[in-house]
Amino acid sequence: MDEDDRPLFHEEHRLFRRQVRAFLAKEIVPHHPQWERDGIVPRDLWRKAGRAGLLCPTVSEEDGGPGGDALHSAVVIEELARIAASGPGFWIHSEMVAPYVSNFGNSQQKARWLPKLVSGEAIGAVAMTEPDAGSDLRGMKTRAVRRDGGWLLKGQKVFISNGQLADVVVVAAKTAQSTESNSISLFLVDAASPGFHRGRNLEKIGAHAQDTSELFFEDVLVSHDALLGEEGAGFRQLMKGLARERLSIAISCQAKAQFAFDQTVGYAQTRRLFGGKLIDLQNTRFRLADVKTELVVGRSFVDDMLRRYLEGHLDGNTAAIAKLWTTEMLGRVVDTCLQLHGGWGYMTEYPIARAYIDARVERIAGGASEVMREIIGKTLP
Ligand SMILES: Cc1cc2nc3c(=O)[nH]c(=O)nc-3n(C[C@H](O)[C@H](O)[C@H](O)COP(=O)(O)OP(=O)(O)OC[C@H]3O[C@@H](n4cnc5c(N)ncnc54)[C@H](O)[C@@H]3O)c2cc1C
């Protein structure tokens, strides 16, 4: 389906898409191979993206943002997928960090961070996962203890996207010694705080332009103002944030699958074998017909999820269904598409090879498929 034919999107979104597309073509596409080698994108890109209106589309005008809606967010996510950008981590910044501040921050926290997140002066990250606690967040060990003047944070996080660049980190920490859901609180930690250290930019099998870090909190003293929302509300806040995160992943995976399909159709139209073209073999057409069918089904499913979100009733269970189905679908699609490229599909100079590798994390990050099945399974009678 042509992007311009999607009934959910209006003229303003179509115009925005064209602006985003032009920005990415100029500011990301030519540099992306170098950033993949560097393992990170330059900070300057964030400021340019901020100036071009790509960051935090849904932050209200009152809070210093552009006042767009989830469809503007979807446009940025989809266009990044359309060029197979493995970095920058705009969506974590825009779809996770900024909403945490908008939804749960007090007026001082909003005034301090939102305008800078919108302009790209400050880069955001979310730190939940620890070396021994990912799916089982209640098992986290990072603690925040009340002290005169604020909270003392001690612990370690891992796999944190944007961790090398982040100026502000939404940190999940235990504020009570239990595994009850009210034992976790969220903090907005300024990366300039004494005791905050960045560890390695971890070497991954894919998503090479995206920095992914260890973070260390060695008795980081933050003021009372760093607590985001109420003490003990962290788990509830994370669940709300995760619904949006999972919708964003679903939007991205749908667009990434479309990218893999487009690449493969193009390849099959030019690849010659047995005196004809790859696209003319019945097997190729059948396999691509299956992929196209998944894409058409997925498009209407993802747009329905977006509509639910816009109307304010995308619940956590439905977001889990969206994450599970689209990430598994992307896995099937990139595998089929790589196969149709033959040996060239295994060569990283071909976009499908990178798409295949980059897709693998989607079934893990943001909640593994098994966790999604647990969530969905709990709704069964
Ligand atoms: C590239 C990348 C970027 C990431 N970015 C961030 C980030 O920015 N911020 C952040 O906080 N985290 C981030 N993560 C962490 C990510 O969310 C976790 O890796 C994920 O939630 C899984 O946690 P884990 O790695 O600890 O695996 P574990 O929790 O140890 O799970 C191992 C495996 O156990 C299985 N499993 C888990 N739970 C169940 C269950 N209930 N039933 C059956 N099987 C189960 C699954 O197969 C799972 O994959 C990122 C991870 C990666 C790889």
**pLDDT over 90, % of the chain:** 96
- Given a contact cutoff of 8 angstroms between Cβ atoms, the answer to whether 44 and 119 are in contact is no
Look at residue 276 and tell me whether its pLDDT is greater than 70. Answer: yes
Average pLDDT over residues 231-249: 93
Q: Apex CA 166: angle with CA 161 and CA 171, to 5°?
A: 75
**The two three-digit tokens of residue 200, written as one number:** 């390695």
- pLDDT confidence of 5, banded at 50, 70, 90? confident
**The two three-digit tokens of residue 267, written as one number:** 């390849």
128: Cβ below 6 Å to ligand 1? yes
Residue 36's alpha-carbon distances to 41, 70, 77, 91, 305, in angstroms, are 8, 28, 19, 18, 32
359: Cβ below 6 Å to ligand 1? no
Superfamily of domain 125-232: Butyryl-CoA Dehydrogenase, subunit A, domain 2 (2.40.110.10)
Helix crossing, 316-340 with 351-359: angle to 10°? 150
Give the residue numbers annotated as catalytic, written as ranges: 245
Among candidate residues 130, 131, 212, the one with its CA nearest the CA of residue 172: 130
pLDDT given at position 171: 98
Q: Per-residue pLDDT tens for 97-135?
A: 999 999 999 999 999 999 999 999 999 999 999 999 999
Look at residue 2 and tell me whether its pLDDT is greater than 90. Answer: no
pLDDT given at position 169: 98
- Which secondary-structure segment (H or E) carries 145? strand 143-147
Give CATH 1.20.140.10 domain extents, the chain. 236-377
Q: How far is CA 311 from its chain centroid?
A: 22
Q: Per-residue pLDDT tens for 281-307?
A: 999 999 999 999 999 999 999 999 999
The rounded Å distance from CA 324 to ligand 1 centre is: 14
Q: Apex CA 358: angle with CA 258 and CA 89, to 5°?
A: 95
The rounded Å distance from CA 126 to ligand 1 centre is: 14
Q: Output the average pLDDT for the chain.
A: 97
pLDDT given at position 3: 76
Q: Per-residue pLDDT tens for 366-378?
A: 999 999 999 999 9
Superfamily of domain 3-91+106-121: Acyl-CoA dehydrogenase/oxidase, N-terminal domain (1.10.540.10)
92: Cβ below 6 Å to ligand 1? yes
Among candidate residues 364, 372, 255, the one with its CA nearest the CA of residue 319: 372
**Who's near 49: CB < 8 A, 6+ residues apart?**
23, 27, 55, 88, 90, 120
Nearest protein Cα to ligand 1, atom 43: 370
239: Cβ below 6 Å to ligand 1? no
Nearest protein Cα to ligand 1, atom 17: 365
Q: Per-residue pLDDT tens for 336-367?
A: 999 999 999 999 999 999 999 999 999 999 99
CA 161 to ligand 1: nearest atom: 8
Look at residue 178 and tell me whether its pLDDT is greater than 90. Answer: no
Phi/psi zone of residue 160: left (φ > 0), alpha (ψ -120 to 50 degrees), beta?
Answer: beta
Give CATH 2.40.110.10 domain extents, the chain. 125-232
For 226-363, strand residue ranges (E) read 227-228, 272-273, 276-277
Helix crossing, 70-82 with 11-27: angle to 10°? 40
- pLDDT confidence of 4, banded at 50, 70, 90? confident
* CATH domain 236-377 topology: Butyryl-CoA Dehydrogenase, subunit A; domain 3 (1.20.140)
